[in-house]
Structure 1
Amino acid sequence: MKFARPDHISDPDMLPQMPVWVTSARAETIEDVAFLSGAALNHLHVVLGRNEVPHALLRDRLALRAAEACVAFSGRFERAGDLRDAVHLLRPGDLPGPAGETYLSWRRAAERPVSVKALGRALPAFEPGQIATWLDAGEGAPVKRAALVLDAVLTEAPRAEVPALILADAALAQALGWDHVVPLLAAGLKRTDLRKRGDDLRLACHRALISSTREAVRLAADLARRTAHLKAVAPKLRAKGAGDAVDMFLTRDAVAPGALPLPDRAARRLCDRLVDLGAVRELTGRDTFRLYGV
């Protein structure tokens, strides 16, 4: 289903906060942990139904976090800034490298509505039939379904951690009636969790979703405030193409000036203007090859 969105735009600061008891309770049994993860996912579902949440931007930033976690699982040391550089500063003909490929897979998985075709675009090494078979491995409640998909992929392809986590999040989204993959599991799981199977893996997934859902809710509230400010200052921008540029900032984690629909000098001036207005941030701390984002 699609999220029901109110016709009015309310104050981003009024987004509902995660109840403290969801994240502070100490649960040991799988029944208690499952109850808490269900409460957390339900709260996130409510937040995602709010009109002021920038859904595409939220998914793109969660994709970055998921990619960062997966890169760490593989023993590599690239962090968020390295992943942004690997993808957003690519020149024609360049290859993004293993870490950049991981980030691209997550971005592609989250940017289009969930389908075998869309997931095949994110995971080109796997045939659509194989992807469909793995997705069908999940049944039952949403987290159980996601854990079964994760288990099935890792049992058959132990080194396919990124595809396994993407497909598990896809199964979770389908079970919850979400149109898009919302990257959640990778950021909450530990590397050792990916070696678990059966009920142990399901318990790990429940625990992971309690923590990652809490962070997703916090991020949604932060991005709602930031995008509201960007929309408020947008009428002050006079450059031709500024409206399309603002739309890019509202949907992407990071943007290079050269990607904006303006001449190079005008694009750099627009980015500087938006920084001065407090509407976007320069993300790299560099004097050259800069990236900007909400």
Structure 2
Amino acid sequence: MKPARTILDPAIDSIPRMPAWVTLQSAQSTEDVAFLSGAGLSHLHSVLASAAVPRGLLHARLALRAAEAGMAIFGRPERAADLRDAVHLLRSGDQPGPAGEVYQMWDKAAGQPVSVSGLGDALPMHEPAQIGAWLDAGQGGPVVRAASVIETVLTQAPRAETAALILADAALSQVLGWRDLVPLLGFGLKPGDLRKTGDDLRVACHKAIVSSSGVAVKLASDLTRRAGRLNAVAPKLRAKGSDAAVEMFLTRDAVAPARLTSLRSDRAARRLCDRLVELGVVRELTGRDTFRLYGV
């Protein structure tokens, strides 16, 4: 039996844009920047509520952005293409290296239920009790609580920057009533922001939300259109196992042909990927002749 596939209307272009005054206005006071971050989160909230948005794919792309931002925090040179190679080309039993580990943490956390059990797989180096205590740190609104989580984690574990940001985004998502973790602070905050505390950190988090919520809305709109086009051609694909392959493209940032195990062979997987590229609904992401990766 073929797996159920997420069906999106190829004509969908109804994701409302973030109002320009939210992301382009230069806020001067704490009150102004808090107002703008609230407006950004409110708009993003309505976008995420739309059934048209391919949330799994959106989570995956935001996770990649957060991991790439993490490289700057650690002073590492890896960018998105390097991170994709480090994780999506892994063979069974291989280790991804430090950069790949950060990407894996974000990729496992994004879209997971905002709970200790949901986050445990992404943060295996921390005990569940510790994760729970950090997740519950602080009180107040979503951004204030997220800032408290960052400060608490980094006070107790100064080198746990990735965990601090994942848990901050988890706390943010939890207070907003989102069913799963949406990376925002993970790529919105700058490396220097993590050295701030108190009001300075809270303001930095508000500013990060203003920019990252705008990025997330724009990305959601783009991915909704792309996913719609892929779904439009999916019924015409004749390869056995193509439905499962299409579903994988709708939930992952990048896919190696070898991962399309629903197809009969590696050759069949490569042919399907090339066919989807020809149809203009999937892109080859590496520019290489071998060890290719594909994504919507």
Aligned residue in 2 for 1:168:
168
Q: What is the correspondence of 1:73-222 to structure 2 with a 5 Å cutoff?
A: 73-222=73-222
Aligned residue in 2 for 1:25:
25
Aligned residue in 2 for 1:266:
268
Q: What CA distance in whole angstroms lies between the structure 2 residues aligned with 1:189 and 1:111?
A: 20
- Following TM superposition, by how much is the alpha carbon of 1:11 offset from its aligned partner in structure 2, in angstroms? 4.3
Per the alignment, do residues 63 and 288 of structure 1 end up closer, same or farther by CA in structure 2, a change over 3 Å counting?
same
Q: What is the correspondence of 1:51-90 to structure 2 with a 5 Å cutoff?
A: 51-90=51-90
Whether the 8 Å contact between 1:53 and 1:220 is mirrored in structure 2 is yes
Please say if 1:280 is aligned against 2:279: no
TM-score for both structures, normalised by structure 2: 0.95
Tell which has more relative contact order, 1 or 2 (C-alpha 8 A, sep 6+).
2
The count of residues paired between Structure 1 and Structure 2 equals: 288
What SS class does the counterpart of residue 14 from structure 1 fall into?
Answer: coil
What SS class does the counterpart of residue 273 from structure 1 fall into?
Answer: helix
Q: What CA distance in whole angstroms lies between the structure 2 residues aligned with 1:239 and 1:160?
A: 45
Whether the 8 Å contact between 1:34 and 1:206 is mirrored in structure 2 is yes
Aligned residue in 2 for 1:15:
15
- Following TM superposition, by how much is the alpha carbon of 1:166 offset from its aligned partner in structure 2, in angstroms? 0.1
Q: What are the ranges of 5 or more consecutive residues in structure 2 without an aligned counterpart?
A: 1-6
- Following TM superposition, by how much is the alpha carbon of 1:9 offset from its aligned partner in structure 2, in angstroms? 5.2
- Following TM superposition, by how much is the alpha carbon of 1:269 offset from its aligned partner in structure 2, in angstroms? 0.3
Per the alignment, do residues 58 and 8 of structure 1 end up closer, same or farther by CA in structure 2, a change over 3 Å counting?
closer
Q: CA RMSD in A?
A: 1.3
Q: What CA distance in whole angstroms lies between the structure 2 residues aligned with 1:10 and 1:205?
A: 36
TM-score for both structures, normalised by structure 1: 0.96
Please say if 1:291 is aligned against 2:282: no
What SS class does the counterpart of residue 13 from structure 1 fall into?
Answer: coil
- The runs of at least 4 aligned residues of structure 1 exceeding 4 Å deviation read 7-11
- What letter is aligned with 1:78? E
Q: What CA distance in whole angstroms lies between the structure 2 residues aligned with 1:240 and 1:8?
A: 21
Aligned residue in 1 for 2:4:
none
Task: Show CA shifts across 1:101-150 (max 9, x none).
Answer: 00000011114212101211100110000111111113111100111101
Aligned residue in 1 for 2:36:
36
Q: What CA distance in whole angstroms lies between the structure 1 residues aligned with 2:285 and 2:149?
A: 35
Per the alignment, do residues 158 and 97 of structure 1 end up closer, same or farther by CA in structure 2, a change over 3 Å counting?
same
What percent identity do the matched residue pairs reach? 67
Q: What CA distance in whole angstroms lies between the structure 2 residues aligned with 1:37 and 1:176?
A: 13
Q: What are the ranges of 5 or more consecutive residues in structure 1 without an aligned counterpart?
A: 1-6
